[in-house]
Amino acid sequence: MHRPRLISNFLREMGWNPIVLTVHEDYYEEKPDHDFLQTVNDTTEVIKVKAFKAKRKRLVGDIGLRAFFQMRKKAIEILNQREINFIWTPIPSYYTTLMLPGLWKKFNVPYGIDYIDPWVKPRDVLGRFMSKAYISNLVARVMEPFAVSKAALISGVDKAYYEPVLKRNFSNRKIIHLGMPYGFDPQDHQIKLENVELPWIEEEEAFVYAGAFLPKSHLFLKCLFTCIQKLKEEGKWSDKKKLYFLGTGTYPGKQIREYAEEFGIGDFVTEKNERFPFLHILYFLNQADGVFVLGSTEKHYTASKTFQSVLSKKPVFTVFHQESSAVEILNEISATDFLTTYSEGMKAEELISTMKEKVIEFFLGDKNSWNPNYAGLESYSAKESASKLVEKMNQIISHS
């Protein structure tokens, strides 16, 4: 939901009128975050449709499937009644893209697909043979070629996210493509909420990780916990220093809280898997004593949460693959005081050796050196991403 929200907030000032076609919140399985509406520009037109409700015995949960026919019907209605110049569909949900070739054939309106996440996943994150993830990936390999068959644009948060799509599907024809980060809307940080309860008590020194915990973040977590375990054994870790992992979601493998117990630091680590409202997370980051971001051993991982973490104006401890675009961004804005980089094939012992001094400086030091160039973030803002998208859409329309 953030991707279309961030882009649509800036389109009108660039000469485009955004219409967001989505599903009514009554049909979400998750509890709606009504405060989130404060982050949507008043000039953005939002049209909502119904969906089939998820059954108690859950066979189909994906909202893109449950609302497919309703979305398609409304899309046809809009295209019949109004002058639409371009259709841009962020994924996931992946299945809404299956209506796009038919809409193109009927109305000749160019469309683009935006890869927030890869549709066809690498085999090493699929789990066991014939698991739900495994079967979904088989389906993706069949459906993706059809969905992108008439596409005029492929975009994504980074070229690495969609480059395999180009190789699989566009070897015989050229396709306009565009990598652009999630970015951020600076107005989000100006919204003030009342009566938000912090997950920690006032006496604690709280360090916050906010957002999903990734399948390929386990190595970074274990190395971090190894460093903290060593500090505890040396009597350097205060009982008041606490790590809070908030909104980590459901993920395969060992849980963060289990790792904490295994490393003997369970008293210092709290994990809350349930999702928090977006503006609550911003408030938590702003109120924390420090923020930390654990990336992925995959070099294409961009970590959109990096922007919100840095904009909290609190020191940020980060671990990323050295080729991640996040490292480039942190270097450009002079926010690398507490950055640890991972290189392909690096062993845990080597990463721990590289990380330990940063851990000491971040968790035990005064952090007075932290002074990023916040103005330098502007080139990575959602407004800049929207501008790049507009440039590509204008190019496509001028040649259609």
The span from the CA of 240 to the CA of 170, in Å, is 55
The span from the CA of 356 to the CA of 345, in Å, is 19
Share of the chain above pLDDT 90, in %: 73
| Bigger pLDDT: 109 vs 306 | 109
> Which pLDDT belongs to residue 131?
67
Tokens standing for residue 126: 């699929």
List pLDDT tens digits, range 116-151: 888 887 665 555 666 666 778 788 889 999 999 999
> Which pLDDT belongs to residue 303?
66
- Sequence-distant (6+) residues with CB within 8 A of 355 are 223, 224, 227, 319, 340
**What are the φ and ψ backbone dihedral angles of 331, each rounded to 5 degrees?**
-65, -40
The span from the CA of 258 to the CA of 29, in Å, is 27
> Which pLDDT belongs to residue 111?
98
The span from the CA of 339 to the CA of 319, in Å, is 6
How many C-alpha atoms does 343 have within 13 Å on its Cβ side? Answer: 3
Model confidence band, residue 55 (pLDDT cutoffs 50, 70, 90): confident
Q: Is the pLDDT of residue 347 over 70?
A: yes
Question: pTM to 2 decimals?
Answer: 0.83
**What are the φ and ψ backbone dihedral angles of 243, each rounded to 5 degrees?**
-105, 130
Share of the chain above pLDDT 70, in %: 95
> Which pLDDT belongs to residue 115?
93
Helix, strand or coil for residue 385?
Answer: helix
**Domains (ranges, CATH) in the chain?**
2-185+381-398 (3.40.50.2000), 188-378 (3.40.50.2000)
The span from the CA of 219 to the CA of 132, in Å, is 25
List pLDDT tens digits, range 23-54: 999 998 888 888 899 999 988 999 999 999 87
The span from the CA of 124 to the CA of 216, in Å, is 10
Model confidence band, residue 298 (pLDDT cutoffs 50, 70, 90): confident
> Which pLDDT belongs to residue 9?
95
Strand-pairing partners, residue 271, are 245
CB 15 within 8 A of CB 394: no
List pLDDT tens digits, range 201-233: 999 999 999 999 988 899 999 999 999 999 999
The span from the CA of 6 to the CA of 326, in Å, is 19
φ/ψ bin of 276: left (φ > 0), alpha (ψ from -120 to 50), beta (otherwise):
beta
> Which pLDDT belongs to residue 58?
63
The span from the CA of 277 to the CA of 303, in Å, is 18
User: Which pairs count as long-range contacts for 159-162, CB under 8 Å and 24+ apart, including other chains?
Assistant: 160/299, 160/300, 161/115, 161/116, 161/117, 161/118, 161/300, 161/302, 162/115, 162/118
The span from the CA of 268 to the CA of 240, in Å, is 8
